[in-house]
């Protein structure tokens, strides 16, 4: 089975700590599943921005990214979080390779422009995916760990892409058997404040309706847009589920929120 996994920064354990998601990734790889792990790193980026006294602004769950912020995002995601995950997987016996979306032209993007009148700066909207680098590494037996930076197709260096958006685009381009989003909530909620309002199954049409009427807010907006994009462009299914022991298998067997065509 080919699984594209989005592992959010809010769900990650600190390096050196127990991490049930990485335990499970290593176990799945050992049994023969092919895994692409696209990671975030929001809390880690926030900590670095705070240390450097750089103000942060978000619009609809997307980080406004000036040049200084872009450089910090690239440093944290590619140089710190990505390699920490590779080391952690290696410690669990998994053969992992860490890359960014810039490597081999895996992800191409164009500047997203403005949202609600606010220019997002160096934030990229995925404009193309070349799955060849990921396929080559998967065929060689590696777990592929991807930092969500993309090549700016308009020139100007790297673009910061939302990790959900990057993961969904890769899942579609790779025709993944499953696109699984591991996050800090147990699924998609009708009411963000009510843990008991998790929706078990959603059609693409229903998800689009909830996006349009404002049911989904903040970080759930890019998650659902990415899941919709993944299913529409080739992934067989998409599931949003909580972290914890056995979370990936649980997601594949009905826990969390499954998005269907």
Higher local confidence (pLDDT), 59 or 110 = 110
d(CA 144, CA 27): 15
Whether pTM > 0.85 for this model: the answer is: yes
Q: Write the CB contacts of 109 (distance below 8 Å, at least 6 apart in sequence).
A: 101, 124, 125, 126, 127, 150, 151, 152, 153, 159, 161
Q: Which two tokens stand for residue 117?
A: 């009148």
* pLDDT of 69 over the 60 cut: yes
pLDDT the model gives residue 256: 85
Query: How many CB atoms are closer than 10 A to CB 64?
Result: 18
pLDDT the model gives residue 78: 95
pLDDT above 70 as % of the chain: 96
Would you place residue 13 in the very low, low, confident or very high pLDDT band (cuts 50, 70, 90)? Answer: low
d(CA 210, CA 221): 10
Residues 125 and 148: beta-carbon distance below 8 Å: no
DSSP strand pairing (149-152 vs 96-100):
unpaired
pLDDT the model gives residue 57: 83
Could you read off the pLDDT of 112-150 as tens digits, one per residue?
A: 888 888 999 999 999 999 999 999 999 999 999 999 999
Query: How many CB atoms are closer than 10 A to CB 79?
Result: 13
Could you read off the pLDDT of 186-233 as tens digits, one per residue?
A: 777 877 777 777 888 888 888 898 898 888 877 788 888 999 999 999
* pLDDT of 25 over the 60 cut: yes
Residues 97 and 133: beta-carbon distance below 8 Å: no
**Domains in the chain: boundaries:** 2-260
Higher local confidence (pLDDT), 101 or 43 = 101
CATH number assigned to the domain with residue range 2-260, chosen from the 4 options 3.40.1160.10, 3.90.1150.10, 3.40.50.740, 3.20.20.10? 3.40.1160.10
Could you read off the pLDDT of 145-180 as tens digits, one per residue?
A: 999 999 999 886 899 998 999 999 999 999 999 999
Residues 144 and 35: beta-carbon distance below 8 Å: yes
């Amino acid at each position: 089975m080919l699984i594209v996994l989005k592992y959010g920064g809010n769900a990650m354990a600190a390096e050196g700590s127990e991490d049930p998601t990485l335990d499970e990734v290593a176990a799945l790889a050992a049994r023969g599943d092919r895994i692409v792990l696209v990671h975030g790193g929001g809390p880690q980026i926030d900590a670095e921005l705070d240390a450097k006294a750089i103000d942060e602004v978000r619009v609809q769950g997307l980080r406004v990214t000036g040049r200084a912020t872009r450089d910090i995002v690239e440093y944290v995601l590619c140089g710190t979080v990505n390699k920490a995950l590779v080391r952690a997987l290696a410690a669990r016996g998994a053969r992992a390779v860490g890359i960014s979306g810039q490597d081999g032209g895996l992800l191409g993007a164009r500047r997203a422009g403005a949202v609600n009148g606010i220019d997002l700066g160096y934030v990229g909207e995925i404009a193309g995916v070349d799955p060849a680098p990921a396929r080559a590494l998967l065929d060689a037996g590696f777990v592929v760990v991807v930092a969500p930076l993309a090549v700016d197709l308009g020139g100007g260096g790297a673009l910061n892409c939302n990790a959900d958006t990057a993961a969904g685009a890769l899942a579609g381009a790779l025709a993944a058997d499953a696109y699984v989003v591991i996050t800090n909530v147990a699924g998609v909620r009708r009411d963000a404040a009510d843990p008991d309002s998790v929706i078990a199954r959603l059609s693409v049409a229903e998800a689009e309706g909830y996006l349009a009427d404002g049911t989904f807010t903040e970080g759930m907006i890019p998650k659902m847009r990415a899941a919709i994009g993944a299913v529409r462009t080739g992934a067989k299914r998409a599931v949003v589920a909580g972290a914890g022991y056995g979370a990936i298998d649980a997601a594949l067997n009905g826990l969390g929120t499954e998005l269907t065509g």
